[in-house]
Structure 1
Amino acid sequence: MALRIPTKNGTWLERWNPEDPQLWEAAGKAIAWRTLWITTYNLTLSFIVWFMVSAIVVKLPGVGFKFTTTQLFWLTAMPGLAGGTLRIIWTFLPPILGTRHLVTISTALLLIPVLGWSYAIQNPSTPYWVLLLLAFLAGIGGGNFSGFMPSTSYFFPKRLQGTALGIQAGIGNFGVSVVQFLTPWVVGFALFASGILRLDDPQSFSAANGLSSPIWLHNAALVWTLFILIGVALAWTYLKSVPVRANFREQFDIFRDKHTWIMTSLYIATFGSFSGFSAVFALLIRQLYGKFEGAPDPLAFAFLGPLVGSALRVIFGPLADRFGGARLTQVSTLGMLLSAIGLSFYVNPVSLSQFPYFVGFMLALFFFAGIGNASTFKQMPMIFDPRRAGGVIGWTAAVAAYGPFIFSTLIAAIIARTGHPTAFFYGVAVFYALNAGLNWYFYARKGAEKPC
């Protein structure tokens, strides 16, 4: 017979210890997995909203928005700036608000950028600053990660942390591919809901070859409204909160531990790369290869990178539980190093024949970043106690979420100065080498300080 754990005010579980085998089998397992699947659904929506701007931006020039390349890169950068900043705040909220309230409220906030973008992009005369603000608000989706992931980590025993966090983050990351894959399809027809809201009039989209076609670009944001409302209802109805409480000041102790900063650097290398390249992949294709005759459609390829990275995060979560996170992180950082070096030869192309190699090395970067995204989240719960591990997970995720902002602005600046982003890839290669050294010395080598 399943054990029922009493709650306070219908929200806070009165006792919780996932390391207790009897409690886990009697009640904990069911509660933990239910929490995982609901928060994962909502996290996927959060990533969709966070990266919908990158899918919309490549279409803006075709419907009449007169923006420069730098301005377009800044639009893809703003969700990253907001995501990183908001994650710093969301990091400290799980022990304060609890899982139920945090996930419900955070998911409801996604409606703001979704409805805002739906209306703003219908008019090409919409001021640039308005789109910048809406791009910043899309970063709410990025901020949610640092609240959802630590919340989930409270529910699982250490032996399942890699699996649970790998599943949640990996499936959540699929949101990037979902929005980039579905956007070209949903903008091709009038949604039933659009008709109700009198948004059924299409815009005229002018392709690079001069041909025009109707497009319902506002659908790219509006289509997610119903899914968000479902997520809000699921979170409020079925989620509970564990009795892990701490105020802001008590949680600052993580910053006195050097391993917080080492893991932050490692997660910037892995997830920062995943999120950064996810944001700029489509624009890089347009900027570097769009000048050639028969140029590829950026969105036909851009979703592949996040898809690969997300799948690897899910697959390697259980493998990290089995083989250890540090070993896989070593493979990840070295793989990204070699991929970045290889990619640098194909970012100043002279013909379209180089495009397959460009895509291949980009996918290799996503491949190894996906492995590292899973393995680093296995390392953190092994290095720190549960409460501090949750804080470190949230903090590292917050800093790494600046990836889209950093990658977009740096690439835009380098392209504006040199005409191609080769120097950027040299720089990230050096960063990957540094992190490979840190991981080997502190975690992966024989006799390491914190083998994990």
Structure 2
Amino acid sequence: MSQQLKKKHKLIGTPFLGLWTSTLGLFAGLTTIVLYGVAGAEFKESLGLSGAMLGILLSSPHLSKAILRIPFGAWVDEVGGKKPFLILLGCSILGLTGITTLLYLYYPNEFDSSLFPLLLFFGVLGGAGGATFTVGAPQTSYWFPKNRQGYALGVYAGFGNIGPGVLNYVIPVLIGVIGLAAAYLSWLLFLVFATLIYAYFAMDSYYFQLKKKGETDERAKCIGNDLEQDVFPSGSTRESLKKSASNYRTWILVFLYSISFGGGFTALAAWFPTYWTLFHDMDIVSAGLVAAIFTIYGSVIRVPGGKFTDKYGGEIVAAMSFGIMAIGALVLVMSSAFYSSFIGMLIIGTGMGIANAAVFGLVPKYVPDAVGGASGWIGGVGGAGTLIIIPLLGFFVDTYGQIGYARGFIVFVILSTLCSLISIALRVNNKKLNYQGK
């Protein structure tokens, strides 16, 4: 029946293809959150930066990521995800081109602090790819019914988020083999290639295809329901942002996301290469490998995290995972040895990965009429947490010296505990509302 309906309306694509093209776009775009983190120690030494200034450079890609996630995530509700994806990836290509050009022209002999403003500019431009997260999340949601949202978003975010981890390892290896400038050129070529693949194969869900063919909103939703899709946009960017902003639960999810991913996972993905290099005295390749393990593991674990969310409920899973985060952060605070720090890193990565899946699994449940807008607020405002946390980690280093690399994790102990309590309160409140509704 569904195949006949697709053929009748000349619809193309499948949820599977929609999921994996979104995942590819996220994989490529999200690599830009470690635009400088992959070689943070090298930039710190060459430019003569303090811990706080290094934090600002490392967080520069996160500025555009945070700002652009709001409008671009909501824009999906109006035009679908493909166009926003391509614009963001195009900006990242321009930013990475700028950085690569500066490296070829000035590194190493003339690569000094005078280039810091330009590096910040290209970092901000290149970081636009990080905003693809809130584009791909609603784009993926609109391909799947509500009872498969945890699975779909878990796969999307789980495999898409390993991009920074892969780059955290690959780029340091390439730096050792072909040099810093050539390594960044290789990264640029990969980003261009991935963008071309996405442009060719990606497509928006049936609802958007039907709208482009002239179907009314009501008719497009009706046909979409017949094709087992029951999550639809509110219709316009402004309306989607307005609806989601007026829902207080959106802002609760914003805060939870800012700690689990926006100011948590992405901050540590950029910070860990420097942490392992300068605190544990590891070479850049080994530090990149260990940081990559964190990013890839914390990303892939989102897949079972999504399944847990579907089975047990996002609030319960979130409360438990934030508790795990707090334990991992506490281990990192108290540890200066490699093995105990490594274990702490894996524990906090476990909590962050599962929490990420739980938070976004709650979006269609709490804001079903404006998934795109909610994703924009959550990813944008929540993503701004990185702009605070990375410089804050650098501040601990400036204040306490070498041991500050460990003490800085107290920030995550406090915030993770608070998020766990908020998740429990969400669960209690939701049960109360359901009871009153009955």
TM-score range, shorter chain: 0.7 to 0.9
CA apart distance, 1:4: 4.8
Q: Distance in 2 between matches of 1:60 and 1:7?
A: 57
Matching residue of 1:256 = 246
1:3 aligns with 2:1: no
Out of 397, 403, 427, the residue aligned to residue 443 of structure 1 is 427
**Residues 239 and 71 (structure 1), Cα distance of their counterparts in 2 relative to 1, 3 Å cut:** farther
1:108 aligns with 2:99: no
Matching residue of 2:226 = none
Residue identity opposite 1:306 in structure 2 = T
Q: Distance in 2 between matches of 1:448 and 1:438?
A: 15
Q: Distance in 2 between matches of 1:254 and 1:295?
A: 43
Out of 158, 165, 171, the residue aligned to residue 183 of structure 1 is 171
**Residues 61 and 410 (structure 1), Cα distance of their counterparts in 2 relative to 1, 3 Å cut:** closer
Residue identity opposite 1:3 in structure 2 = Q
**Residues 259 and 182 (structure 1), Cα distance of their counterparts in 2 relative to 1, 3 Å cut:** same
Matching residue of 1:140 = 128
Structure 1: tracts of 5 or more residues without a match: 14-26, 191-201, 204-214
- In the alignment of these two chains, the number of paired residues is 401
Matching residue of 1:48 = 31
Matching residue of 2:413 = 429
Residue identity opposite 2:96 in structure 1 = V
CA apart distance, 1:450: 6.6
1:309 aligns with 2:298: yes
1:284 aligns with 2:266: no
Matching residue of 1:74 = 56
Written as runs of structure 1 = structure 2, the 5 A alignment for 1:211-360 is 216-219=182-185, 221-224=187-190, 225-235=192-202, 241=208, 243=211, 244=233, 245-249=235-239, 251-272=241-262, 273-290=264-281, 297-346=286-335, 349=336, 354-360=337-343
CA RMSD of aligned residues (A): 2.9
Q: Is the 8 A contact 1:340 1:429 kept in 2?
A: yes
Q: Is the 8 A contact 2:63 2:124 kept in 1?
A: yes
Q: Distance in 1 between matches of 2:381 and 2:276?
A: 26
Q: Is the 8 A contact 1:76 1:404 kept in 2?
A: no
Q: Distance in 1 between matches of 2:323 and 2:166?
A: 28
Q: Give the secondary-structure state (helix, strand or coil) at the position aligned to 1:187.
A: helix
CA apart distance, 1:168: 0.6
Q: Distance in 2 between matches of 1:72 and 1:440?
A: 37
CA apart distance, 1:247: 3.7
**Residues 73 and 322 (structure 1), Cα distance of their counterparts in 2 relative to 1, 3 Å cut:** same
Written as runs of structure 1 = structure 2, the 5 A alignment for 1:160-199 is 160-189=148-177
Partner deviation per Cα, 1:153-188 (whole Å, 9 max, x = no partner): 122100000001111111110101111121123334
Q: Distance in 1 between matches of 2:161 and 2:60?
A: 18
Q: Is the 8 A contact 1:276 1:404 kept in 2?
A: yes
Q: Give the secondary-structure state (helix, strand or coil) at the position aligned to 2:208.
A: coil
Residue identity opposite 1:218 in structure 2 = Y
CA apart distance, 1:239: 9.2
**Residues 437 and 70 (structure 1), Cα distance of their counterparts in 2 relative to 1, 3 Å cut:** closer
Q: Give the secondary-structure state (helix, strand or coil) at the position aligned to 2:236.
A: coil
CA apart distance, 1:92: 1.8
Residue identity opposite 1:261 in structure 2 = W
Q: Distance in 2 between matches of 1:93 and 1:295?
A: 39
Residue identity opposite 2:370 in structure 1 = R
Q: Kindly, what percent of the aligned residue pairs are identical?
A: 22
The structure where helix makes up a greater share of residues is 2
1:153 aligns with 2:141: yes
Q: Distance in 1 between matches of 2:428 and 2:68?
A: 32
Residue identity opposite 2:20 in structure 1 = W
CA apart distance, 1:328: 1.1
